[in-house]
Amino acid sequence: MEDNLSTLFKALGHPIRRRILDILKQSPKTTGELNDFFPEVTRYAIMKHLTALEEGNLVVVRREGKYRLNYLNAVPLQEMNNRWIGKYMQTTAESLLNLRSAVEQKGEDIEMKSAEQAQVFRIEQEVFIESSRENVFKALTEKAEDWWEFRLAPKGVQSKFTFDPVPGGQFVERWGETEGAVWGNVYYVNAPEEIRLHGHLGMQGAVNSSYTYRLLEKDGGTLLQLSHTASGMIEEEWEQNHSEGWKHLLGKLLKEYVEQSK
């Protein structure tokens, strides 16, 4: 853990690298696009800064066609917060999507949005977990009830999660005899390496959403990669709230659950 923090602090130690993270917070960028923000800096220098950020796990690279896109990975910042701030002050967990307020809007009229308001977002995050892929995969699926914090059940009502990690299986929250919500429908499984789901994750209306967990063996543990894409009538704050929610769920709750269960 200390070695990881040393690499993280080193990655944050240059103002250009911190500025790159600010830019990537808005949207992913190619190396060339990032270079345009720094006309006084060579492309080679930007590549070196990106390498340092990758080594600090603050940037993840995904290939799309002939382009390599750089994405902000905020999970290590959450881990740093847990290590240096979380121990000394009480924090309130961020909602995955302000789910409670969304669910409690019963009976309220929802304004239809125009086609011009259709948007897309994509979230890419990585977290290293000191355990085997088998343990992490089982925690993500069969043991989700033990650590998944967010709920769609009405306030004051207890609910339970089940997750059947097979094609056609569902990640479901249930309360009462017939009430509940589907958080995800499984459409691809290659255990313990990958599982893909369709699921709104609290978003309402005309939205298509899917998320994927990939598990890679690395340094005696597991590198968990999350990809979450959504398109349609996206509210302005949804991407930010989902990014914070995933960071809390995977970078803190899941990581602590698996590592403390070893």
Question: Going along the chain, which residue ranges are E strands?
Answer: 59-64, 67-72, 119-129, 160-163, 170-175, 179-190, 194-198, 207-218, 221-232
Task: Measure Cα distances from 84 to 79, 134, 180 in Å.
Answer: 9, 30, 38
Q: Which two tokens stand for residue 261?
A: 């269960």
Asked whether 66 and 25 are in contact (CB, 8 A), the reply is no
pTM of the shown model: 0.65
Which contacts (CB < 8 Å, 24+ apart) does range 107-110 have? 110/204, 110/205
- The pLDDT averaged over each successive group of 10 residues in the chain (262 residues) is 69 88 89 91 91 89 85 78 52 45 49 53 93 96 95 92 95 93 94 94 86 94 94 86 93 95 74
Q: What pLDDT does 2 receive?
A: 53
Cα-flanking dihedrals φ and ψ of residue 122, to 5°?
-140, 130
Structural domains in the chain, CATH included, are 2-72 (1.10.10.10), 117-260 (3.30.530.20)
Asked whether 211 and 201 are in contact (CB, 8 A), the reply is yes
Q: How far separated are the first and last CA of the chain, in Å rounded?
A: 16
Q: What pLDDT does 139 receive?
A: 97
- Amino acid letter, 149: E
Tell me how far apart the alpha carbons of residues 262 and 125 are, in angstroms, rounded to a whole number.
Answer: 23
- Nearest-CA neighbor of 68 among 95, 96, 105, 31? 31
Q: What pLDDT does 115 receive?
A: 41
